[in-house]
Structure 1
Amino acid sequence: MTLFLYLQSMKKFGLIGRNIGYSFSRKYFAEKFKNLSITDCSYENFDIENITSVPDILTLPQLVGVNVTIPYKQEIIPYLDEISEEAQTIGAVNTVTIQNGKTKGYNTDAFGFRQALEHHWNPCIHQNAKALILGDGGAAKAIHFVFNKMNIPWTTVSRKSEIHFENLSHHMVSEHLLIIQCTPVGTFPNVEETLPFPFEAITQQHFIMDLIYNPSETLFMKKCKEKGAAVINGEEMLIGQAEKAWEIWNAR
C-alpha cells in the first residue's frame, strides 16, 4: 500500500470540548489502539471556544466519530442530522458517528453511569433510596434518565433549580442517601475548590459519586469520605461510556 492510500484509509476520531487539555479520552483511545495493534486509527482533541466551529470539524476528511464533552453536549444537537431516541429523551449527546457525510448523535453517558453505579451500589438493597443530583449540565441529564429507568426519586440542586446550594438543608441531605456530584467544581487545576455543601449531614449510609476523575479524589470526595460515606470518582463511568462509544462507531 502506498503512503497515499494508507493515509486515505486512516480513520480519525476525536473529542469536541473546551479547555480539554486534561482529556481522558485521547489518552484512553491512544492506549486502546496500541493494545489492540490498531494502526489505522487516530484520536485528537478539538478544543474550541464556540460551538459554531463544529461544522468545520464534522466535515474533516477521514473523521468517522467524535466524543463530545463540556460545555457542548446540548449545544451540538442542532448541528447534527439525526440523534438516537435515547439521546432525544435525555436531551444531550456525547457521541457522534459520521457516515457518508451524515452525522448521528448518541448518549453513552447513561450507559456508563448506570454500569459504574451498579458495580458499587445495589438498588435491590436500597429500594427506598432517593438521590440528590448536584448540577444540571449534560451529564446530569443522562443521570435523570437512568434514575427514571431505575425508579429512583431524584432532586436537582443547582443555581437554576428551586433548591440551590445556598439553601440545601441538613435535613435534605440526610434524606437523600445517594448523591451524584455533576459540576466541574474541583476539577484540576482548581483542586482546592468545592461546592458550598452541608458536609456535616453526610453519614456512613451515604453513597457519593463525583463525576470528576482528575484529580482522582476531589476535595468534595475527601470531605464526604471523612464522614464515613462510600465514595467513588467518575473514572468507571468514563471508561463505560468510552467503550460504548467505540462499540457504536464500529457498528456502522
Structure 2
Amino acid sequence: MRRIALVGKNLSSSFSIKFFNEKIKKENIKNLEYVNLEINRIDQLHNYIKKKNIIGLNVTSPYKLSIKKYLNKIDDVSSKIGAINTIKVDGSDLIGFNTDYLGFMKAYKKQLLNNKKCLVLGNGGASKSIQYVLRKLNLDYLVISRRSKFDYEFLKKNNLIDFDIIINTTTLGMVHNIDRFPDINYDQVNETHTAIDLIYNPVQTIFLKKCQKKCANTLNGHEMLINQALESWKIWKI
C-alpha cells in the first residue's frame, strides 16, 4: 500500500485525512491511502517514509520550519519563504514545496487588494507564507511575535486603527487551544477591519468572535486549506 501522510503533532482534528481519502476514493485510485503521522522528532522522518511506503507528505505545526534541513531539495519559492508544507518523495530524495502561499493568495487576494496595511499575528511557518504573499502584493505589514521587539506589549501601545487587516497565523484557538486567543486590544477593532484566522477548526475561533462582535468582517482558514491541499495534490502527480 502506498501512502501520503500528514506529519506534525495534534492531528486528530485535521481536515486533510478525510479530504484526501475521499478524493482518492472519488478518483478510484487503487493501492493508496492518506494517513496521519504524529512524530515527536522530525529527524526520524526518513525512517517512517521507508517503513510506511510514503510517496508524499503534507507538513503542519510544529515542523514547517525545522523540516528544511532534512530535505534533499527545496524549490525556489519555498527557499524564499523559508517554510515547507508539502514534500514529494522522488526515489531517495525528499523535495520540499510550499503551497500555503498559493492557498492564502487564492482565498483572500480580493480582500488584500482592497486594503493597505496588514497586522500579522505570529511569526511561525504559516506566517512566513503569508508574509511572502503580502510582499508579492506590495502591501505594508507588521509582524507581531513574542520573540521580537514588536511583541504584544508593543502592540498594546499602538492603535489597531492603523491597520486594515488583522491576520492570526498562530495556533491560539485551534481545537487543542480552543479557549485561547491572541492578546490584542479588541476594543480598537471596528467595522473597517477585516479579521482573518488561518484556523479552520473550529469554524469560528474566539479571535474571530471577538472581532465580529466589534462589527469587523471575519474569515476563517477553510478556503485557504482547500486551495493549498489541491496544490499539493498537483505536486504529488498521483
TM-score interval (norm. to shorter): over 0.9
Q: Aligned letter for 2:221?
A: G
Helix, strand or coil at the partner of 2:22 = helix
1:223-238 pair list within 5 angstroms:
223-238=210-225
Give the Cα separation in 2 of the matches to 1:64 and 1:172. Answer: 48
Give the Cα separation in 1 of the matches to 2:152 and 2:169. Answer: 13
Unaligned runs of 5+ in 2: none
Q: Aligned letter for 2:141?
A: W
Paired residues, number: 238
Unaligned runs of 5+ in 1: 1-9
C-alpha RMSD of matched pairs (Å): 1.5
Paired residue for 1:200? 187
Q: Aligned letter for 1:83?
A: I
CA shift digits 1:55-82 (9 cap, x unpaired): 2123335321000000001111111100
The alignment-based identity, stated in percent, is 37
Give the Cα separation in 1 of the matches to 2:129 and 2:176. Answer: 26
Q: 1:122 to 1:180 in 2, by over 3 A?
A: closer
1:42-191 pair list within 5 angstroms:
42-60=33-51, 62-118=53-109, 121=111, 123=113, 125-126=114-115, 129-169=116-156, 171-191=158-178
| Bigger Cα displacement from structure 2, 90-99 vs 28-37 | 28-37
TM-score by length of structure 2 reads: 0.95
Q: Aligned letter for 1:23?
A: S
Structure 1 residue 171, shift from structure 2 partner = 4.1
CA shift digits 1:166-220 (9 cap, x unpaired): 3313743111111110110111143222121100111111111101111100000
Pair member with larger Rg: 1
Give the Cα separation in 2 of the matches to 1:134 and 1:151. Answer: 19
Structure 1 residue 39, shift from structure 2 partner = 2.7
- 1:30 matches 2:17: no
Paired residue for 1:3? none
Helix, strand or coil at the partner of 1:96 = strand
Q: Aligned letter for 2:39?
A: I
Q: Aligned letter for 1:241?
A: Q
Give the Cα separation in 2 of the matches to 1:247 and 1:184. Answer: 27
Give the Cα separation in 2 of the matches to 1:156 and 1:21. Answer: 29
TM-score by length of structure 1 reads: 0.90
